[in-house]
Amino acid sequence: MATGLNAIKTVIEALETPAQTAALHFFTDPPGFGIRITPTGKRTFFFQYRWAGKTRKPSLGRYGDITPKQAQKLAREYVGKLSRGEDPQAERAAAEARSLREAAEKQWTLAAAIDSYLAERKLKDSTRYDMGRAFKGIEDWKRRPVQDITPAMVKERHKKLSASSEARANLAMRYLRAVLNHVMHEAQAEGFTLLDANPVDTLSHRKAWNTIKRRRTFIPPHKLGTWLDAVSTLDEMPDYAPGTGRHHQKLKNGAMQRDFLLLVLLTGLRLNEAKGLRWDDVDMEGRTLTIRDSKNHDDHTLPVGDYLAALLKRRRDESGAEYVFSSKAGHRLHNLRYALARIEEHTGMHATCHDLRRTFATIAESMGLSAYAIKQALNHRTSASDVTAGYVQVTPERLRDPMQRIETFILSHGHPQRGAKVVQLRG
């Protein structure tokens, strides 16, 4: 084929399109430089050479996208690399891989990393909500590429967040560590290194994690009566808050909040488990309630005592169709802050819903229930190393008598619902 660049364009356009297979046409300068024409008419410059006993024909670019002169220059560069003992196709592949890697790295902003983590993980709605709250403390980082997040940044932000809440600061950084570990492994699966190390690990190296003492607060038996008496006022309208002189408005949904707190105290359920309790999961005849897909991803069934059975029957007439703790209009119980504040004003005790769960567990232990029965009632996962736990089967029915005994003990200290009919409890 003619080699003069002025004639190449004319020659290329005059070449016929093959009928079935691609046709190869070679130029003389440099040797191996040619053009491939496919049956569809596509014309692509290439360079043919042998390396390690194999013939290779890497493309240089499509005719029209690059000129013959540009293609010839690339072909001559390939000749030069071959003369130096370099494989031009391998170098080109490495360059393309670097380009792809750089593009992939740019895509991993913190926001994209969080989205990927949430999409890949099977998380409960409550966990997703907690993550959203925690990441508000690093909202300004979300547009950054993850490789721009440094250990120094983590250290300073953790310190800043700790000034407001040490527990929340720890939680935010633990979630961040999980997200960054996720994208590190995702990048490795794609064949490149995104982060040499997780920057959150600096908190462990520096021993900078906040030490959070586990809460051990609960309602002691001698104060149960005071607390139960205060709970009974949640559906009333006191003239004033004791000791403050401040007047109160009537607590919205006070009766519902009263019943909710009593159910948590008498069953030891977690806050979100009780909030999400559906009527479909309450067996009025069998007197049991079931928490679906609980914290440890198992269904959790508990028997209820006489008082709770009556409470649930009454709520059945007062709540919406789906959730136990909702209004007839279907509005679910959401905020307990004002109810707990009202109780604190009456009693001087600051008791959270988890304190009620600890109170239930403490009473259960004091009554001589076995550790396995208490674990079952609280729906705590047994350690994999506890071989005995695999043999001891504590069924919901075996918990019926203990649950009734705990209920009787608690209610013997007060009257949680004023004006309610007093019934003789078994045991």
> Can the peptide bond before residue 31 be classed as cis, meaning omega within 30 degrees of 0?
no
Give the pLDDT of residue 241: 47
Torsion 263-265-268-269 (CA) sign? positive
Does 378 share its domain with 295?
yes
Residues in the chain with pLDDT values less than 50: 2-3, 237, 239-242, 244-245, 247, 387-389, 391-392, 418-427
CA distance 155 to 387: 41
Question: How many other C-beta atoms are found inside a 10 Å radius of the C-beta of residue 104?
Answer: 15
Does 236 share its domain with 352?
yes
Does 56 share its domain with 138?
no
Counted domains in the chain: 3
CA distance 129 to 139: 15
Does 235 share its domain with 284?
yes
Q: Residue 10: inside a domain, yes or no?
A: yes
DSSP state of 27: -
Q: Residue 41: inside a domain, yes or no?
A: yes
Q: Residue 314: inside a domain, yes or no?
A: yes
Does 305 share its domain with 404?
yes
Does 138 share its domain with 257?
no
Does 176 share its domain with 128?
yes
Does 276 share its domain with 376?
yes
Q: Residue 216: inside a domain, yes or no?
A: no
Does 187 share its domain with 127?
yes
CA distance 46 to 56: 10
Q: What is the CATH number of the domain that holds 311?
A: 1.10.443.10
Q: Which of 53, 75, 100 is the last residue of a domain?
A: 100
Does 279 share its domain with 187?
no
Q: Residue 305: inside a domain, yes or no?
A: yes
Work out the percent of the chain whose per-residue pLDDT is above 70: 83
Does 311 share its domain with 347?
yes
Q: Residue 348: inside a domain, yes or no?
A: yes
Contacts of 339 (CB under 8 A, 6+ apart): 234, 251, 254, 257, 258, 261
CA atoms within 13 A on the CB side of 377: 30
Q: What is the CATH number of the domain that holds 90?
A: 3.30.160.390
Contacts of 131 (CB under 8 A, 6+ apart): 114, 118, 123, 175
Give the pLDDT of residue 96: 61
Q: What is the CATH number of the domain that holds 160?
A: 1.10.150
CA distance 427 to 412: 12
Give the pLDDT of residue 240: 40
H helices present in 268-369, as ranges: 271-275, 306-318, 337-347, 353-366
Q: Residue 213: inside a domain, yes or no?
A: no
Range of the domain at 54: 5-100
Q: Which amino acid is at 330?
A: G
Q: Residue 425: inside a domain, yes or no?
A: no
Q: Which of 170, 205, 240 is the last residue of a domain?
A: 205
Does 91 share its domain with 158?
no
